[in-house]
Structure 1
Amino acid sequence: MTDELSLRITELMPRAQADLAELVAIPSVADPRQYPPEKCREAAEWVAAAFTEVGLRDVHLEETPDGSHAVIGHRPPPPGAPTVLLYCHYDVQPPLDEAAWTSPPFELTDRDGRWFGRGAADCKGNIVMHLTALRALGDDVPVGLKLVVEGSEEQGTGGLGEYVPPHAGELHADALLICDTGNAAVGVPTVTTSLRGVVTVVVTVRALKGDMHSGMFGGPAPDALAALIRMLDSLRDADGGTRIDGLDCAGTWSGVGYDEARFRSDAGVLDGVRLTGSGTVADRLWARPAVTVLGIDCPPVVGSAAAVPAVARARVSLRVPPGTDARAAQDALVAHLEAAAPWGVRTEVERQSAGSPFRADTGGPAYAALDRAMREVYGKPMSLLGQGGSIPLCNVLATVFPEAELILMGVEEPRCLIHAPNESLDPGELRDMAHVEALFLRHFANTR
């Protein structure tokens, strides 16, 4: 049966490429300031039609509280069979600097053994993975299915997160396939078991009533920007690792590691520049808090005056590993910044978002079925991976469906360069992960 399924999926790959080309050609950026909202609706309607064609019922668009549209559908289970929810999203990141793209961002381009285009991996490749798996199974889908394809994941406006709780009954499933991640590397079957949460604050420093001439007052006059720089620098130790008073910054990661040379390549670290922090790359990336200064408001270089800045501010992000309470981490960050303010400058720290981290329970039958499927396709056991990013929806789903197994998987891997110019997909990973998904549905059906 596995060989038969593998052959079907291989035969379906031209269809998968054509599907992905159609989807990538729709610039479904969920930001009306940059792209027309009709394109998001066009992508949603494409998704609804495609899943109707593969046998799901009542596939339709539901408006969520943030104004975006989620594609919802279902397929009833055979008697006694479990139900699996299939998740992904059709909205994409903007292409950023189009001049940095080797080929047009909204035109799927086959080059160097990969398929390039915005959303090719994140997350339209996962939509096509679902479709390919279901086409390979045909009428022989051994489980019930629920479908949720959201339209504002990249914007982080939380529409689907608000939609889920009042619609829990119609979305309930025994296992949730959250297909918005991927493998540790091409050919390494992986499930993501932890996500860092994220908190943000904006810190404002005021030192003078107004900017003052640096020739007449520079020296004794307190410089708001210099004070802010000292405060931000206090968030890191001598090695560049995050150091926040009252926060444990020494966690360790026990899953699959991340080779330092590969990380340097994946992250685009320049030759001769050292990585920050200590411990393994996986420790620093998935098991420890990580602070980032996202932006600073101060006089720009071009057009700056010979003046001592009176006011400066910065937006600071803190990624929070599983086991750390996001609100407590935000409180620690605020307290640290306030205590680090030098020279008695006036400091105001505004709390912004606070998203909790996530850790999956991997001991249930769905994970066992997935491990079996990955072994059959890749010839090696499933690896457990952390992810430095955040998917707030996971915590919503875990709260609303506490008995369901939540699995993070998909076609993305480091070479995909998601969110960056020249995003791409390895078609072999799309083929193999569609095979994994189809086998998983078969194996999970037998756990009842």
Structure 2
Amino acid sequence: MAAADAQVIRERVEADWPRIVQLLGRKVALRSISAEGIDGEHMRRSADFVAEELRKVGVQARVVQSANPDGTPGAFEVVGSREVDPQAPTVLLYAHHDVQPVPDAGQWDTDPFTATERADRLYGRGSADDGGGIAIHSGALQALGDDLKVNIKVFIEGEEEMGSPSFIPFIEAHRDEFESDVIIVADSGNWAPDVPSLTTSLRGNLDLDVTVKVLEHPVHSGQFGGPILDANTLAAMLIASMYDRNGDLAVPGVKADRPIGGLQHDLDEAQVRADAGIVDSYRLAGSGSLAERLWTKPSASIIGFDAHPVDGSFNVIADTARFRISLRTAPTQEPGEAMKALGDFLISHAPFGAQVSVEPLDTGQGWAMDAASTAVKDAQEAMEEAFGVAPVNKGEGGSIPFIPELKRIFPGAQVLVTGPEDPQTNAHSPNESISLSGLRKNIVTEALLLDKLAFSAR
């Protein structure tokens, strides 16, 4: 082939399809839960499996164990390369082989670690996040075969679901294995199984612990209740003060963005309500498009609250309360700036003069796509050829902090965020699944994209 032909690629993917589905099934069965120990033998088996699958499609892959920041043994990472021409552009393919835990298998309709095909979907933990990303890379390289015109580097991470603590030190220690012209991160998803998307933005994130103190010790609620509000109530007032009457976060200095690359289609409220399982009586908070509220405006969630359990409670006024805020920041805001703004706001809005202290925790930078880059245009063309419909811009409310870190380390690289998921995937949740027809088209897309990048990503 001179330039890749979409029909030829489709035929090659179809011929390879049994191998791809088998790859996913075997990956699901490996139970590569990084939360059970990133340096465990189960994670080594997972990395060895991925490396072997990559070798089948021409990648010289090997497993390397990283080191944690404190020097202890870290995750098992898969790195590899395939060089076709020293003068050709180099593309780094990223995915991760670790998966989320399954706290309650009883909430699943199938065995979470036995890949089960129903209609057009394959169910199982990690079938999409991110076994689907591994399958896309493997399928695209197999489809191109000897027609591959770009040099390939591969990094399949083993601790993404644990926050990637050793990711940046590992990259900095192996720069030569990551240096590239284009980085394809296959860990996101599409607008729908049959409508492709590039991920245009990711929100940043930060965590902050807040302590509210009103008394030196608990006191009897009958003797002192009234003029003294308990710390839990004061904490609730403090939390409520972060919002305006519409439910928008209204903390000065915590910024909002508009959808990156423009908003072509807003999200469907009925679908969002169904996907999230929202009770009928609840009115969605905030103002503006749903896309803005979910992708580029900040959001705060109270993800932990220390209080006496209801069982065994008795009539005392709580002296202190502690809670943790998880703040998703606008894609372009520096998280440290948002952290300071939020901390200052909480201290200055202490209800009734209660003592409020804050403890900053982790931060992660957001990311916004360069909509004018040649790689983006190539990706959009490849998606339309593969899916038969134009792609729809799609942000993500979640965070992948290593992407801006990659841009910091390799400022000349163009970053594309793609992936195997769709609104029905349920990543991190019961009944995780991947659309098989969507996976086929994603593989065709990446093969066509790699071909296009041979001519434009120089």
Judge conservation of contact 2:9–2:144 (CA < 8 Å) in 1.
Answer: yes
Match of 1:277 among 286, 290, 294: 286
Judge conservation of contact 1:59–1:74 (CA < 8 Å) in 2.
Answer: no
Give, in whole Å, the separation in 2 of the partners of 1:245 and 1:374: 40
- 1:167-246 equivalences under 5 Å are 167-246=174-253
Partner of 1:145: 152
After the TM superposition, which of the residue ranges 163-172 and 403-412 deviates more from structure 2?
Answer: 163-172
- Asked if 1:287 corresponds to 2:291, the answer is no
- 1:254-269 equivalences under 5 Å are 254-256=262-264, 257-269=266-278
Give, in whole Å, the separation in 2 of the partners of 1:221 and 1:229: 15
Give, in whole Å, the separation in 1 of the partners of 2:170 and 2:384: 36
* Deviation at residue 64 of structure 1 after TM alignment: 3.9
Amino acid at match of 1:175: V
* Deviation at residue 249 of structure 1 after TM alignment: 4.5
- 1:246-395 equivalences under 5 Å are 246-249=253-256, 251=258, 254-256=262-264, 257-395=266-404
Give, in whole Å, the separation in 2 of the partners of 1:78 and 1:309: 69
Match of 1:63 among 50, 53, 66: 66
- Asked if 1:54 corresponds to 2:57, the answer is yes
Judge conservation of contact 1:290–1:319 (CA < 8 Å) in 2.
Answer: yes
2:100 match: secondary structure: coil
- Asked if 1:83 corresponds to 2:86, the answer is no
- 1:111-126 equivalences under 5 Å are 111-126=118-133
- 1:24-63 equivalences under 5 Å are 24-32=28-36, 37-63=40-66
* Deviation at residue 159 of structure 1 after TM alignment: 1.4
- Asked if 1:16 corresponds to 2:20, the answer is yes
Give, in whole Å, the separation in 2 of the partners of 1:444 and 1:36: 36
Amino acid at match of 1:442: D
Judge conservation of contact 2:255–2:329 (CA < 8 Å) in 1.
Answer: no
Amino acid at match of 1:61: V
| Aligned pairs, number | 447
Give, in whole Å, the separation in 2 of the partners of 1:58 and 1:263: 40
Give, in whole Å, the separation in 2 of the partners of 1:262 and 1:64: 42
Partner of 1:404: 413
Judge conservation of contact 1:242–1:249 (CA < 8 Å) in 2.
Answer: no
Give, in whole Å, the separation in 2 of the partners of 1:212 and 1:322: 45
2:253 match: secondary structure: coil
Give, in whole Å, the separation in 2 of the partners of 1:274 and 1:168: 49
**What are the ranges of 5 or more consecutive residues in structure 1 without an aligned counterpart?**
none
Give, in whole Å, the separation in 1 of the partners of 2:278 and 2:390: 31
Judge conservation of contact 1:418–1:424 (CA < 8 Å) in 2.
Answer: yes
Partner of 1:105: 112
After the TM superposition, which of the residue ranges 395-404 and 356-365 deviates more from structure 2?
Answer: 356-365
Amino acid at match of 1:255: L
Give, in whole Å, the separation in 2 of the partners of 1:112 and 1:371: 28
Give, in whole Å, the separation in 2 of the partners of 1:36 and 1:368: 40
Deviations 1:318-361 (A, max 9, x none): 11112322111111110111112112211110001121111121
* Structure 2 CA distance for partners of 1:267 and 1:375, relative to 1, 3 Å: same
Give, in whole Å, the separation in 1 of the partners of 2:335 and 2:111: 39
Deviations 1:357-384 (A, max 9, x none): 1112132322222122112111222322
Judge conservation of contact 2:123–2:431 (CA < 8 Å) in 1.
Answer: yes
1:164 match: secondary structure: helix
After the TM superposition, which of the residue ranges 376-385 and 403-412 deviates more from structure 2?
Answer: 376-385
Judge conservation of contact 1:187–1:378 (CA < 8 Å) in 2.
Answer: yes
Give, in whole Å, the separation in 1 of the partners of 2:256 and 2:375: 33
Alpha-carbon RMSD across the aligned residues, in angstroms, is 1.7
2:160 match: secondary structure: coil
* Deviation at residue 58 of structure 1 after TM alignment: 4.6
Amino acid at match of 1:432: K
Give, in whole Å, the separation in 1 of the partners of 2:104 and 2:284: 26
1:193 match: secondary structure: strand
Amino acid at match of 1:193: T
* Structure 2 CA distance for partners of 1:320 and 1:4, relative to 1, 3 Å: same
Deviations 1:245-287 (A, max 9, x none): 3333574662342122222122221212111111110111122
Judge conservation of contact 1:64–1:160 (CA < 8 Å) in 2.
Answer: no
Q: Matched residues, percent identical?
A: 37
Amino acid at match of 1:37: G
- Asked if 1:444 corresponds to 2:453, the answer is yes
**What are the ranges of 5 or more consecutive residues in structure 2 without an aligned counterpart?**
none
* Deviation at residue 79 of structure 1 after TM alignment: 4.5
2:122 match: secondary structure: strand
2:49 match: secondary structure: helix
- Asked if 1:93 corresponds to 2:100, the answer is yes
Give, in whole Å, the separation in 2 of the partners of 1:337 and 1:284: 22
Partner of 2:6: 2
* Structure 2 CA distance for partners of 1:89 and 1:49, relative to 1, 3 Å: same
Judge conservation of contact 1:48–1:61 (CA < 8 Å) in 2.
Answer: no
